[in-house]
Structure 1
Amino acid sequence: MTSTTPRMTNLFLQLGLDASEQAIADFIITHQLPADTYISDAPYWDEGQRQFLAEQLKSDGAWAIIVDQLNESLHEDAVKKITGL
């Protein structure tokens, strides 16, 4: 078990991704998901990343909040399209 503080930058580090503020913003913009795609089912994750995300959401622990925030960000375009906002 890791004692890393759950934050978006640390989530990106856990996923092996660039955790700079600009890289996170760019990732979110360029990796938007359709409304019916779960974050852990996104085609751009490798198996380890997919498993980590799914486990964190199931655990309902501290990391689940951060993963859910990423999930919401990755679905932002789809939600705007559905709601018209």
Structure 2
Amino acid sequence: MDTTKHTLTTLFEQLGLPSEDAAIEDFISRHSPLPSEIALQDAPFWSDSQSNFLEEGLEEDSDWAEIIDELDARMRH
């Protein structure tokens, strides 16, 4: 069983995106603010597999859900 605490770095790695701090901040800056009527997983900048991963993580309240929620909050500001 994987008990690793997930971070934005590990989330971005899981999504196949550059995961260095500067790359994460750049991604958030480029795609923010995300309009309130668009769910994070439905944003147009995700691939189908990225969107599915985010949606499943939230729907199943997986161990990824907390960090996905953190990314969502950061994308709204």
Q: Is the pair's TM-score, using the shorter chain for normalization, greater than 0.5?
A: yes
1:11 aligns with 2:17: no
Structure 2, unpaired ranges of 5+: none
Give the distance between the partners of 1:61 and 1:49, measured in 2 at CA: 15
Give the distance between the partners of 1:54 and 1:61, measured in 2 at CA: 10
How much is the aligned-residue C-alpha RMSD, in angstroms? 1.3
Structure 2 partner of 1:24: 24
TM-score with structure 1 setting the length = 0.82
The amino acid that maps onto 1:34 is: P
1:59 aligns with 2:60: yes
Give the number of aligned pairs.
Answer: 75
- Encode CA deviations 1:5-27: one digit per residue, 9 max, x unaligned: 41110000000000000000111
The farther-off stretch of 59-68 and 43-52 is: 59-68
- Encode CA deviations 1:38-61: one digit per residue, 9 max, x unaligned: 001000000000000000001112
Structure 2 partner of 1:83: none
Secondary structure of 2:22's partner? helix
Structure 1, unpaired ranges of 5+: 77-85
Structure 2 partner of 1:50: 51
Runs of 4+ in 1 over 3 A off after TM superposition: none
Give the distance between the partners of 2:44 and 2:25, measured in 1 at CA: 19
* More helix by percentage: 1
Once the two structures are aligned, what percentage of the paired residues are identical? 41
